[in-house]
Amino acid sequence: MPELSIIFPCILNHLYPQTAEKSVKIFEKLGYTINILENQGCCGYPYLINGEKSEVKELAQKLLFDFQTGKREHKITSLSPQCTYTIKNCYPYLFHNSVLHNLCQKVLTDVVDVFKIIASHNIVISPKSKQVLVIDNLSDLSVIKKITGFQSEDSWWLVKDFGYNCTGVGTGINKFNTPIARQSVLDYCNFAKEQNTDTLVFTDEFTLAFADSVIANEKLPLKTLHILDILYEQLFTPNN
């Protein structure tokens, strides 16, 4: 049975632990032996977007040592597109021509995008009613299209491109981008209202957490979910 080590994103782990727990059950159902490391650290993404390189490098070094393995049929995945992006695209530059260069390359060969794993099982995530799908800009759009089928005529997903080049929401963690992030959330909320739905579903926890803060502050009658919540319901609801 293939082994899967899961990197739990900080925000998901602390704010949405129920979603993190559901993810373990999802991948167990898909046939993986799950490896969960205690005292996991942050991948460094929050520090990366604020330009704090030394902090990113320190966290990256811990993650590399924590997740190094020589096992066959072993994969590493993060439940966050931001974490995956940071590890696969930023770590090689941090440790290029350093004593950790080889370790970094070794660990990176095992890192797989969480949605690509789901896609490899030919799963299509389908909501039971109309819901707005907010796609993080660091997600692979072609993979998201495959696992959600949102372009299908019978799909309940509602998708809208507001022309931000990204959702803008995830940048809310960066103090310099809060206004556009708030506006992005409000635009998605207005779109949901126009489409007569009360649920927004997110592909990442940064966007979800920031959206929740705006929705709570504005006292909007909207619900939010992580896309893994939808998949869990789909896989573990009888007659589905």
Residues 217 and 137 in one domain: yes
* 181 pLDDT more than 70: yes
Q: Using CA atoms, how far apart are residues 89 and 79, in angstroms rounded to an integer? A: 16
The model's pLDDT over 199-218, given as tens digits with 9 standing for 90+, comes to 999 999 988 998 999 999 99
* 53 pLDDT more than 60: yes
Mean pLDDT of the chain: 88
Spatial strand order of the sheet with 199-202 comes to: 157-158, 131-134, 199-202, 223-226
Q: 38 lies in which domain range?
A: 3-112
Residues 104 and 164 in one domain: no
Residues 96 and 179 in one domain: no
Q: Supply the pLDDT for residue 69.
A: 66
Residues 150 and 78 in one domain: no
CATH code for the domain of 224: 3.40.50.1860
Residues 102 and 149 in one domain: no
The model's pLDDT over 72-84, given as tens digits with 9 standing for 90+, comes to 678 999 999 889 9
- Over residues 16-21, the mean pLDDT reads 95
* 177 pLDDT more than 70: no
DSSP assignment, residue 168? S
Residues 44 and 69 in one domain: yes
Strand partners, 217: none
Residues 6+ apart with CB under 8 A from 230: 125, 126, 127, 131, 201
Residues 82 and 136 in one domain: no
Q: Using CA atoms, how far apart are residues 177 and 159, in angstroms rounded to an integer? A: 23
The answer to the question of residue 118 being in a domain is: no
The answer to the question of residue 117 being in a domain is: no
Q: What are phi and psi of 128, to 5 degrees?
A: -90, -10
DSSP alpha helices (H): ranges in 137-177?
A: 141-148
Nearest to 64 by CA among 2, 3, 139, 7: 7
The answer to the question of residue 25 being in a domain is: yes
Work out the angle at residue 188's Cα, subtended by the Cα atoms of residues 179 and 132, and round it to the nearest 5 degrees.
Answer: 150
> Domain boundary at 112, 133, 152, which?
112
The answer to the question of residue 11 being in a domain is: yes
Residues 21 and 106 in one domain: yes
SS3 state at 75: strand
Q: Name which residue leads in pLDDT, 230 or 47.
A: 230
* 165 pLDDT more than 50: no
Residues 100 and 166 in one domain: no
> Domain boundary at 91, 112, 133, which?
112
Which DSSP helix (H) or strand (E) runs through 202?
Answer: strand 199-202
> Domain boundary at 77, 112, 147, which?
112
The answer to the question of residue 67 being in a domain is: yes
The answer to the question of residue 101 being in a domain is: yes
* 166 pLDDT more than 50: no
Residues 89 and 137 in one domain: no
The answer to the question of residue 187 being in a domain is: yes
Quick one: angle between helices 227-236 and 17-29, nearest 10?
50
Overall number of domains in the chain? 2
Instruction: Annotate 221-232 with b (16+ C-beta within 10 A) or e (fewer).
Output: ebebbbbbbbbb
Residues 89 and 148 in one domain: no
The answer to the question of residue 226 being in a domain is: yes
- In order of 121, 199, 219, the CA distances from 83 in angstroms are 22, 25, 30
Name the amino acid, one letter, at 22: K
Per DSSP, the chain holds a count of helices (H) and strands (E) of: 12, 7
Residues 85 and 21 in one domain: yes
